[in-house]
Structure 1
Amino acid sequence: MGFGGISIWQLLIILVIIVLLFGTKRLRNIGTDLGSAIRGFRSSIKDGEADAAEDATFAAEARKDPAAVSNQTSAAQPAADAKPASTTTQNSSGSDKI
């Protein structure tokens, strides 16, 4: 008995049929693509875990000293309430001209 009621001989027959259908070169390419996809998935999971750990650290610091965290965030963000310079001019009729 093999996997879930399939014997080793049935698995070998399925493997031979797959090799005959796709060929060894195409199977090698599929394996390479699958391996790179798995590596990309694992690296994105590690990045997500690192971001989550950073957010947890930031939240813990915010609970300890909220004033210090607000000073850090306000220094890191540009002033949002500053008005940009106007690029339009008004002529004598009062309409905007670009």
Structure 2
Amino acid sequence: MLNNIGLPGLLLIAVVVLVLFGRGKISSLMGEVGKGITSFKRGINEGQEELEKEAANTAKDVTPEDEKDKV
């Protein structure tokens, strides 16, 4: 069914959506989508930094457990 939608069909759908919701509502919705994507990317980066910090902390101490007891 959706395989045969071409450029004219997409333009018609865009016009109908614009008429139904109005330009202001669509722009505010796209702004919220943009904020959500930005927040998601920020969360991914923070999680990756946290994992890197944990890996760095475990990599710092390479002394075997039995030698730690001797010190």
TM range (shorter): 0.7 to 0.9
Alignment of 1:7 onto 2:6: yes
Instruction: Name the counterpart of 1:30.
Output: 29
Q: Which has the higher helix share?
A: 2
Aligned to 2:15: 16
- 5+ residue gaps, structure 1, are 68-98
* TM-score normalised per structure 2: 0.78
Rg larger in structure: 1
Structure 2 distance, partners of 1:4, 1:54, is 48
Count of residues in correspondence between the two structures: 65
Q: Check 1:22–1:41 CA distance in 2 against 1; reply closer, same or farther (3 A cut).
A: same
Work out the CA distance in 2 between the residues paired with 1:54 and 1:8: 49
Cα distance in 1 for partners of 2:3, 2:63 equals: 57
> In the TM superposition, what is the alpha-carbon distance from 1:4 to its structure 2 partner?
4.7
Q: Aligned Cα RMSD in Å? A: 2.2
Q: Going by fraction, where is strand more abundant, 1 or 2?
A: 1
Aligned position for 2:53: 54
How far residue 58 of structure 1 moved from its aligned partner, in angstroms, is 1.4
1:65 to 63, 66, 69: 63
Change over 3 Å in CA distance of 1:61–1:10 after alignment to 2:
same
Asked which structure has the greater RCO (Cα within 8 Å, sep 6+), the reply is 2
5+ residue gaps, structure 2, are 66-71
Q: Secondary structure at the match of 2:5?
A: coil
Deviations 1:61-91 (A, max 9, x none): 23x1367xxxxxxxxxxxxxxxxxxxxxxxx
